[in-house]
Amino acid sequence: MEPILQVRQLSKRYRNGRGVRNISFEVRRGDVYGLFGPNGSGKTTVLKMISGLCKADSGSVSLFGHDAAEQFEPAMSRVGCIVETADAYDYMSGYDNLKLAARLYPELPKTRIDEVLEWVRLTPYKREKAGGYSLGMKQRLALAAALLNEPELVILDEPSNGLDIEGAVELRELILRLSAQNGTAFLISSHQLDEMERVCSRIGFMYGGAFIREGGIGELTGEESLERTYLSEIRKARGEGGADV
Ligand SMILES: Nc1ncnc2c1ncn2[C@@H]1O[C@H](COP(=O)(O)OP(=O)(O)OP(=O)(O)O)[C@@H](O)[C@H]1O
């Protein structure tokens, strides 16, 4: 099966010398792919390059067989993403925010807005102004907007930030349901390993702007815990040897 996202040797160096280097991985239909790493390890930079919010110095991104640098619109047409902001218009209701977002997709069935509101459990609050929403509700509204067009790949930067435990569980269930039932693929970042373990089918471990290990969840968990595998990989990357974590 052709991957829907292919990232090859992607590198970016900011003026301060930080950034990411040589990032390569693939996401296939139905995958929930997690980028895991501590703050500053480069997760957001990778997601921004893939979604066209910042330019790579080198490397390539291919989405649904289209090179994202050369054919940005067809490449992104089946992608929904929330990277950097989950902003809504505060003076408009949740429903009206989605109605505005839906104008980008004239073909959408009328029932679609109510459907995505239901998915993110915002139906009871849909007529309230988004300005009164909690951070978690705003995140769910942004997710509803990203799902409007039935994307085949959804890119989410730290999706559970600001969610309470119930919200985090609901988000996880939604991701698992959409990937299992519709084959929707997800690319998400997180610095919480337990959360990644529950939802991801594949994980890329990041450290200091690079991938230190990448693979299927079973392979990475192995006989150890995911946490021990990550710590062991960090030690190897630092040249300290992988044993005795
Ligand atoms: N616009 C920028 N200009 C300069 N340096 C940047 C910029 N954006 C990110 N960086 C640096 O690049 C590195 C990777 O940052 P990035 O935000 O991609 O990491 P992250 O893993 O997403 O971290 P976080 O979870 O804190 O967002 C960090 O050292 C960060 O300070």
Structure confidence at residue 13 (pLDDT):
95
Q: Are residues 127 and 29 in the same domain?
A: no
- The two structure tokens encoding residue 125: 């609050």
Residue 94 and residue 70 share a domain: no
Residues 115 and 38 in one domain: no
166 assigned to some structural domain? no
- The domain of 98 spans 81-150
Number of structural domains in the chain = 2
Residue nearest to atom 24 of ligand 1 (CA): 39
Tell me how far apart the alpha carbons of residues 83 and 159 are, in angstroms, rounded to a whole number. Answer: 9
Closest ligand 1 atom to residue 44 Cα is: 22
Q: Which residues contact 37 (CB under 8 A, 6 or more apart)?
A: 43, 191, 205, 206, 207
ipTM, two decimals: 0.95
Q: Is residue 171 part of a domain?
A: no
Q: Report CA(64)–ligand 1 centroid distance (Å).
A: 27
* Structure confidence at residue 243 (pLDDT): 46
The residue among 97, 131, 150 that closes a domain is: 150
Residue 68 within any structural domain of the chain: yes
CA of residue 228 to ligand 1 center, whole Å: 25
Q: Are residues 10 and 50 located together in one domain of the fold?
A: yes
On whether both 70 and 114 belong to a single domain, the answer is no
Closest CA to 37 of 179, 219, 176, 231: 231
pLDDT tens digit sequence for 31-55: 999 999 999 999 999 999 999 889 9
* pTM to 2 decimal places: 0.91
Tell me the backbone φ, ψ of residue 74, rounded to 5 degrees.
Answer: -65, -35
10-residue averages of pLDDT along the chain (245 residues)? 92 94 95 94 94 93 93 88 77 93 86 92 94 87 90 91 82 91 93 91 95 92 85 87 45
**Bridge partners of residue 20, in order along the sequence:** 12
What is the CATH number for 206?
3.40.50.300
- Residue 15 sits in the same domain as residue 59: yes
Question: Are 197 and 91 contained in the same domain?
Answer: no
Q: Among 41, 51, 155, 195, name the best residue to mutate to test ligand 1's pocket (greatest count of ligand atoms within 8 A of Cβ).
A: 41
DSSP state letters, 46-98: HHHHHTTSS--SEEEEEETTEETTT-HHHHHTTEEEE-S-----TTSBHHHHH
CA 39 to ligand 1 centroid distance, Å: 8
Q: Which atom of ligand 1 is the closest one to the Cα of 158?
A: 25
Contact of 143 with 85, CB cutoff 8 Å: no
Residue 55 CB-half CA count within 13 A: 3
Same-domain status, 96 and 85: yes
Q: Which residues line ligand 1 (CB under 6 A)?
A: 14, 16, 18-19, 37, 39-45, 191
Asked if residue 165 belongs to a domain, the reply is no
* 215-232 residue pLDDT tens: 999 998 876 788 999 999
Vertex 5 angle, CA 206 and 135, to 5°: 65
Local structure of residue 41 (DSSP, 8 states): S
- Are 156 and 47 members of one domain? yes
Whose alpha carbon is nearest atom 28 of ligand 1? Answer: 40
Please identify, by atom number, the ligand 1 atom nearest to the C-alpha of residue 15. Answer: 4
- Among candidate residues 150, 173, 190, the one where a domain is terminated: 150
Q: What's the pLDDT score for residue 245?
A: 37
